[in-house]
Amino acid sequence: MARPKVKSKAKPKAKPRAAKSPKVEKVIPLHMIPDVQSEVIKTAEGRYLQSNEAMFTFYKRSKGEQSPYFLGLMEKKQIIGARCPKCKLVRVPAFEIYCPDCQFEKLELVELPDTGVMNSTPPITYFANSLFAHMVPFGRGRVMIDGADTGIPMHVYTTKGVLTPRVFKKNTPVKVIFRKNRLGKPTDVFAVPIAELPEKLRAKKGVEEQELDWSRPVEPPVDKPTPETEKAFKSAFAAFQSMSKAVAKSDRAKKDLAGWKRSIQVKTAGGSFIISIDKQNLTVKPGKAKADFVMVSNNPRLFEDWMNSRESLTNAIIADKLWISKNQEFTTVFKLDRLPRSLRRT
Amino acid sequence: MTEAVGIVGAGLTPCKGRWVELSYYGLSQLAVKKTLEDAAIDIKDVDAVVFGIYNDIFEYSAIPEHPLQGIIGMANKPGMRVTCGGATGAYAMLASYTMVKSGLYDTVLCLGVEKCTDCFDFDSMTSTPEVIKSIGWSGDTFYERELGWTASESYAEVVLAYMDEHPNDLKDEVSAEISAILCKQAQNNKYAQRYGEKVTKEMAMNSRYIVYPFKLLETCVYTEGAAGVIFANKEKTNSMCKNSGKPPIWITGVGASNEHHVVGRDFRHKVMHRIYSDHLSAKAAYKMAGVTNPVKEVQVVELHDAFIKQLQVTMAEFGFTKLGHSDDLVKEGLMVPGGPILVNPSGGLTYAGHFVGGSNMLSAWSTRRELIDKQLHRGMIHGTGSTIAQYGCVMIMERRD
């Protein structure tokens, strides 16, 4: 139930700043902010009221004693640590001012190199929180800078396509790369495998992101059709059509697709088809057309395995059985991955 | 100081993915009502209350316990809130135990409650991303949160580091089998969120990764619910239990440990491939309870299974198997049905539910139920929490009749 609009006779106020300057980044993305609204939810127990609300507080937050580290990143492309003159331990970032292990001896700020190794294999996030959903998949690990005794939490990227668990391992040598636009935040830097860098950049201090060769993902070719793959394709396509009908009858599955619109070109060795997600429905039609993104798998049987809960699309991408043209579309892949379970539980 | 501290009652609400019908006020009232009924006492018999509530954002209040004091019948009595991340429930019970053990109060109610899926992401039109975001405010606000920190990837860091050290342990088929075992055990718990659900080893194996190496069906659920546990001194425990007809369950060991939140090369900081907080808290609790061989001396473990692979590492840190051999929990039959150790007999956090502030009270309720119904001697409960499994808290419970 929408709140009734109230007309005002007062002179309209100036447009908010965002309307004047749409490129200004807001601390709360405007698209995340819901309208003021209340609604009635009906359950078996009765009628209940719920309202759109938000718990928000704005800050001008001082980074205080943490400032030298962040200023180092932002202004000088330096990595600043803190060294204890007594125990010689070097802590990076410079997150404290006294050494708790040496009777709170005052620490000394020191500059560290921008190379190091991964402390351990970093996790890769495929399902992020709502502020970071547009960044998936991303890795975050701890870089042990050369000469340091503690690790810096840092995003890790590969310049060679989709990030999989095979790229970074414990002790993988890495180089810290600086963003071009830096705000004194932990996202001002990220790490890449040093092996992906040309020789001239490996020793260079303060390398920025635009100096890297970000290889564009190249769509993998599919094999020529064989009677076997064509048969598997027909079977998979028929299964998709059945799934489409089942989704239309399942409130649970429709909820999975709510508010989402995408077209996906699927290419397999047995043939191609288009998946359309719109208005809480999923439809398929054979052939090729312009789409929001592309999925490629040589094996059409993969999709039947997925529909029968023997495989997930996410895991297939991670295992290199399925290729997608846009990393950001993991969000769509997640919505698709919910469907078999939702249909099973309908 | 009292000679002994016992549990005289425990109760909980059904665990649900979303409670539209009850706010956290209503959930608290329901849990307290059930807890008092179980103990067969009146709220007037309770001297003080400890609230376990993890996250202000979930409850939409910076002091979420304040409206609960009066509505649970504890007006004009002492009450305090404990919040320690995922280990909130265990630490709240530690505080309750301490208040009784010190002799300050005879009877203390520990109430854990949490909402979560009121949080809603209007972009995806689902709750989960917003729930994850709300938990995301728990990471280090200078160095982690802005990198998209989540509880899952934080625990995944620890598990992946463990796998670096022990590459032949934590095989996917073992984690999947444990998930299936827990699902089956949840069917003994009518309050379980996933009561009536069947998850097989194959389904767990094939479920999608949320954060590598954690898969969806090997990860705890988001839950709304509440649970209560009543602690009393020796005299009150004996008299109350005589009245209720239920055997007293005694707290014979407690232990807690919080690690550094920054990763380093030795134990002055967090050593990523260990959950040292679990190791130290169990070690302290064992010492207090006189446990020297947990495999032979502990029959029930209610372990905070935020993630199945973390459950396995924690079991190794507890000494039920060696580090690097956590797959023996299944391979050697340690925790399979009929094995020597009952692990999460009510489904754990993965299948029964994880309403963070009260999940460990659910564990206490379950352990007590097993000790009473199966006439077992000793059980232990555990809470873990904060970034990179920083917090650990363990409590040992015994039946002595």
| Residue A170 CB coordination number (10 Å) | 19
pLDDT tens track for A39-75:
999 999 999 999 999 999 999 999 999 999 999 999 9
DSSP strand pairing (B107-114 vs B48-52)? parallel
Q: What angle, rounded to 10 degrees, do the helices at A227-249 and A330-344 form?
A: 70
* pLDDT value of residue A165: 87
* pLDDT value of residue A24: 78
Beta partners for residue B233, in sequence order: B5
Provide the mean pLDDT of chain B.
Answer: 97
Cα Rg of chain B (Å, integer)? 20
Q: Does B194 touch chain A (CB under 8 A)?
A: no
* Cβ-Cβ contacts under 8 Å for A328 (sequence gap 6 or more): A134, A135, A136
Q: Where are the domains of chain B?
A: 5-116+222-244
Find the length of chain A. 346
* Cβ-Cβ contacts under 8 Å for A343 (sequence gap 6 or more): A243, A246, A247, A250, A252, A253
Q: What angle, rounded to 10 degrees, do the helices at B356-373 and B88-101 form?
A: 60
As for the ipTM of the complex, it is: 0.92
pLDDT tens track for B273-327:
999 999 999 999 999 999 999 999 999 999 999 999 999 999 999 999 999 999 9
Q: Which one of 3.40.1110.10, 3.40.50.1400, 3.40.47.10, 3.40.50.740 gives the CATH number of domain B5-116+222-244?
A: 3.40.47.10
Counting Cα atoms < 13 Å in the Cβ hemisphere of A173 gives 9
Q: Where are the alpha helices (DSSP H) in B262-375?
A: 276-289, 294-297, 308-317, 328-331, 348-351, 356-373
* pLDDT value of residue A9: 42
Inter-chain touch A152–B143, beta carbons under 8 Å: yes
Which amino acid does the sequence have at A263? S
Kindly list the residues from chain B whose CB atom is less than 8 angstroms away from the CB atom of residue A170: 161, 164
Q: Which residues 194-233 on chain A approach chain B with CB closer than 8 angstroms?
A: none
> A20: pLDDT confidence band, cut at 50, 70 and 90?
very low
* pLDDT value of residue A330: 83
pLDDT tens track for B184-222:
999 999 999 999 999 999 999 999 888 989 999 999 999
pLDDT over 70 at A21, yes or no: no
pTM of the model: 0.89
Counting Cα atoms < 13 Å in the Cβ hemisphere of A275 gives 28
Q: Which one of 2.40.50.180, 3.30.1050.10, 3.40.50.1000, 3.40.50.2000 gives the CATH number of domain A227-344?
A: 3.30.1050.10
pLDDT tens track for A135-167:
778 899 999 999 999 999 999 998 887 788 889
For A155, name the nearest residue in chain B, comparing CA atoms only. Answer: B147
Inter-chain touch B150–A125, beta carbons under 8 Å: yes
Q: Which residues 276-305 on chain B approach chain A with CB closer than 8 angstroms?
A: none
Distance separating alpha carbons of residues B363 and B250, to the nearest angstrom: 15
Instruction: Detail the DSSP E strand segments found in A146-301.
Output: 152-156, 173-178, 189-193, 262-268, 271-278, 281-286, 293-297
Measured in angstroms, the CA of B170 and the nearest CA of chain A are apart by: 15
HEC states along A57-90?
A: CCCCCCCHHHHHHHHHHHHHCCEEEEECCCCCCE
Task: Note whether B52 and A80 are within 8 A (CB).
Answer: no
Q: Where are the domains of chain A?
A: 64-211, 227-344
pLDDT over 90 at A12, yes or no: no
| Closest by Cβ to A95, choosing from B135, B209, B262 | B262
Task: Note whether B347 and B311 are within 8 A (CB).
Answer: no
